[in-house]
Each structure stands twice: as C-alpha cells, then as structure tokens.
Amino acid sequence: MNDRVPKAPQKNALFLLIDALRYDVLADPTARRYLVPNLARLVDRGFVRQVVTNAQSTQFVMPALFSLTYPLDYGGYNNGIRERPKSFAESIKDAGFETHLLASCNQLGVATGYGRGFDTIRTTSDFRVLLEQRIGRTLRYELTLERTADQREKIIKEVTLLLDGIEELIVHHDKSLWPPKLMRINDRVAKGCAAERALLEREPDAVMAKLTGIAPGIYWRFLGEHAPGGVRLFWHRAMEAMRWRTRGWIAAQTTWPFLMMSHFPVVFGDIVAPLCRLIESRAQTRWFIHMHAMDVHDCRALNRPGNILARARFWPRWLVGRLTGRTKRRWLYDTAVMYVDHLLGQVIDSLERTGQMEHTVVLVTGDHGLYYAESPRKKSEIGYRTHYEDIEVPLLLANSRRAPADAGMIDSMGVTATFLDALDVPPHQSFKGVSGLRSGRAFVISENCGHGNADLARRDIFFTMTTPRHKMMAVLKGATLDVKQFYDRLADPREIRNIVADPDQRAIMDEMVKLLRAERAEIFALREARNNAAA
C-alpha cells in the first residue's frame, strides 16, 4: 500500500501589469464587483493591498519592478536594468520556470535589459517611439555635456547599440503579436536603422550633427541620410512642432478628452488570444508569464477608433456607477479598465478550463497611477507628480494561500518581492524589495530626475517620502535638499492643503529628511562630493 501524501502541483505564475491602474479601481469591494467583475473574482481568491510606487512614470519605475532596486540605483534608469545585478525574471527562471514575456509597452525596448531571463519574448513596440525616446531623453542630453574623447566614444557606443538593437529586434523578433500596420511601420524603421548604422561607421560626425539638429520625433524619417535639409525637412519640422504643441495642450486639459498618440497603440484585444493559447498549451509545464498591457495608460488615444467603439458598450454601466457613487473617475479611463477586465475573463476561463487556476499565482498591479482619471488639482510638472492619483496602485494577489502582513507599506520593489515570496523563489542579494506577506516598509521613497536624462551628478533629483500618516515632496539641487510640499494624509487624504510652512510640522519633517538621507545615502554622498569638488 502506498501511503505517501500526493505532491502538490507546482505553482505557475502570471504577473499582469496593467499600466496606469490606480488603487481606487479595486479599493471598494462593491465598486469593483460592479465595474471590474473579473478582477473582483481574482480578489476573492486572495487579497488586494495599496501600493505606493517608487516613481510616477513607466520609464522611472520599471527598474524597481524588474530588479527590485531603486529607480536611481546603479546610475539611474536611462538604461533600464542593463547595469542591474539581477532581474526578477532571471530568479524565476533559475527556480525552474519556463518564462515568457508578452507586452505592448514601448519602455521594454532596446538595450534596456528587460528581456533578461525570458525564454520567449513577444512585444509590440513601435520602434519609431523607441528611437525618439532614446534620443530625446538620453542621447541629446549627453551631447550637451563637455565633448571629451571618452564622452564621444560613449555616445557612439550608445547610438550603435540603439541602431543594432532596433534592427535586430525587428528582423529577428517574434512578430506574431504585431498588427499589419505596426509591421509596416517597423519594417521601414529596420531598413533605416541599417542605413544609419552604415553612415555611423563612415561618418560618425554626420550622425552626431543629426542627433542635435533633427527633432527626435521625426528622426526616423531621415535615417541613413547624410545631411537632411530643404523643403522636406522644413515640412516635417513644422508638422512635428504643430503636433507637439497640440498634444501638449490637449494632454494638459480635460475639456477635449481624445489624444492622438505619437505611437501606434496595441490594445489588449490584440494580445489576449495569443496569451490564452500560450496558457492552454503549457498545461503540463511549470510556467511564468509577464504580461504588460497599455490600454489604461493610453485610454485617451484616438489612433484606434474601433477600440473607442468597443469600449462604448461599457459606458451605460459606467454612467450608472458614476451616478450611484461607485466611481469618481472619467469615463475614458474607466471604460479602458472595464475593457481589459472583460478580456481578462478569457484568461481566467483558460486557466479554469485547463485545470491550472488553483495552482497559478496571479498578481495584478500597476506601474503608476494616472492624473487624467481623477484629480483635485491641476497637472503638476513631472518631477512633483507624486500625489495619490499618480503613485497609488493596487497589489492584487490570487492563489498565494497566504495572508498579507497586518502592518507595513508596500512599494514597487515590494510588489515583485511579494510575488517571488508567494512562489517560494529566493531573492537575489541585490534585491531591496520587502514582501507584503511579511513585514512591509515603514515608509516609501519615490524618486526621479524629472523629464529627460537621469544624470545623478548634475540634474535636480525629486524625492517623495510617504509614510502611513504623511507625505513629503523635496528636490535636491546640487547638495541642498529643499522640502517643497508636505501633507497630512489622514487629515487631508486628497492632499490639497500643503502644510510645509506650518511650524508644528517641523520636527516631523526633520525626522523624515533624516530617514531619507539615510535610505538614499549614496545619492547624497555623490552630490556632496561633487559639490565639494566644484568648490
């Protein structure tokens, strides 16, 4: 007689990152069952907790999610996690999982390291935007610095990595998720990158001149050309200036809701069927899937009118929810969430139909919030965009069979630490995330260098420290830290009254500054050393 206890099925893992998913979508049980019933089904299998993210935009925060290190560790987020010791996907792969990445996020792009640890990679990047972002956010700034021989070689190396990486990804990439229009766009970019690479080898100074002389948004149109000029360049410059100003005006207001994105947006409806087929085909495999969906972030996009019409079916339910107090958010945002939730039902059905649901740990989270959905204030400049609507997201964990800790805060690093903890995957020694299944954190630090390059030595650094009771926003200029905003989160949960000038708060602020300096000591030491050298 065999009296051995049957071995429990090995856990599978699904990490669903819904870009710009705010915590208030899932905070209220009644509201979430009404607006997002499939996400509510997952909550019923586990729990949902509030997360305060380590930054307020995708580019800034992805290193925290993928490498469980601060956004400004290891030289900052310019190169993604390329210089970070370990990716969480590598840890999961080391634990014996088959690993898959599916994403419609342009930030998981070239020479950033986010593909580390994945057996298969299927992304839907618009490589025009990857080119624009890398030039506009990083390379152009580098070109403004003192042009030493080392600096010049560094820039040439980065341009080479960019062009080679784009061409390699387009030519050899798994294109099974690409809609036909995206295929045509990227094929043109691939040919242009090959031509630009040849020009870089022949005449690097010509490429350097183009990087400074041609707007990043139209650079893809002139790939491979030695010295663009004439009517064609003037026309595209004029059109890009008009588009840039129009987009800026529309994004800053809410009267006219729609916005033409500069990239081709791929929606969850383009990806959900391949995702379900992957899940169903791996029923006998121990798998991990990381899925990043951009629908909610791109909720205002008018590039795909058919998607707006598809979401219109949810408008009556949203309207009733708005009138009955279940939501305060705008309809474009909520219908995008409801659209993703509707399709998520297909993923849940695939798991249940193949008998995998019970032993699949499912995590749903956001990388940051979204001001447009709802806010009591005007839009802030990006460095200070760390109010509740910008950095409070959910951690939904299903099938972990473990309860969260009663106390402690969770940040973006902690989201992934919680996921690894639920899977019994040991953390790498470089990981700083604290699992929400254990203790959580006493406070959360959100950090960034504002729009553009994350030059830790020269640029202003914006810090926000959040505790259960207070929020402090400060900027580091040179070696001087200046506290700009301070809020009592309990007395003022919508963070409307800035009490930084209240003398009764001075002792609390001083203590928080002390904690900030201790937690991010490397950055403060770097700035003080540079300041002393300059003096």
For tokens 């099925």, name the residue. Answer: 9
Domain span at residue 104 reads 10-124+266-439
Handedness of CA 514, 520, 522, 527 (dihedral sign): negative
| Confidence label for 268 from pLDDT (cuts 50, 70 and 90) | very high
Report if residue 462 sits inside a domain: no
Q: What's the confidence (pLDDT) of residue 532?
A: 77
Q: Identify the domain boundary among 258, 293, 311.
A: 258
| Confidence label for 56 from pLDDT (cuts 50, 70 and 90) | very high
For tokens 């995702």, name the residue. Answer: 275
Q: Read off the CATH number of the domain in which 114 is found.
A: 3.40.720.10
Verify that 247 and 192 share a domain, yes or no. yes
Verify that 424 and 331 share a domain, yes or no. yes
pLDDT for residue 455 is more than 50: yes
Q: What's the confidence (pLDDT) of residue 6?
A: 42
pLDDT for residue 216 is more than 70: yes
| Confidence label for 10 from pLDDT (cuts 50, 70 and 90) | confident
How far is Cα of residue 504 from the mean position of the Cα atoms in its chain?
A: 37
pLDDT for residue 4 is more than 60: no
Verify that 318 and 412 share a domain, yes or no. yes
Q: What's the confidence (pLDDT) of residue 242?
A: 86
Q: What's the confidence (pLDDT) of residue 535?
A: 61
Report if residue 503 sits inside a domain: yes
| 136-154 tens-digit pLDDT | 988 999 888 877 888 888 8
- The H-or-E segment that residue 447 falls in is strand 444-448
Q: What is the mean pLDDT of residues 112-118?
A: 94
What does the block give as tokens for 313?
């079916």
Task: Return mean pLDDT, the chain.
Answer: 93
pLDDT for residue 87 is more than 50: yes
Torsion angle, alpha carbons of 514, 65, 162, 240, to 10: -80
Alpha-carbon span 346 to 244, nearest angstrom: 38
Verify that 270 and 254 share a domain, yes or no. no
Looking at the structure of the chain, the number of domains it has is 3
Torsion angle, alpha carbons of 289, 290, 293, 297, to 10: 160
Verify that 287 and 383 share a domain, yes or no. yes
Helices 315-323, 331-353: axis angle to 10 degrees equals 120
Instruction: Give DSSP secondary structure letters for 130-160.
Output: HHHHHIIIIIHHHHHS---HHHHHHHHHHHH
Q: What's the confidence (pLDDT) of residue 218?
A: 94
Verify that 290 and 430 share a domain, yes or no. yes
| 284-306 tens-digit pLDDT | 999 999 999 999 999 999 999 99
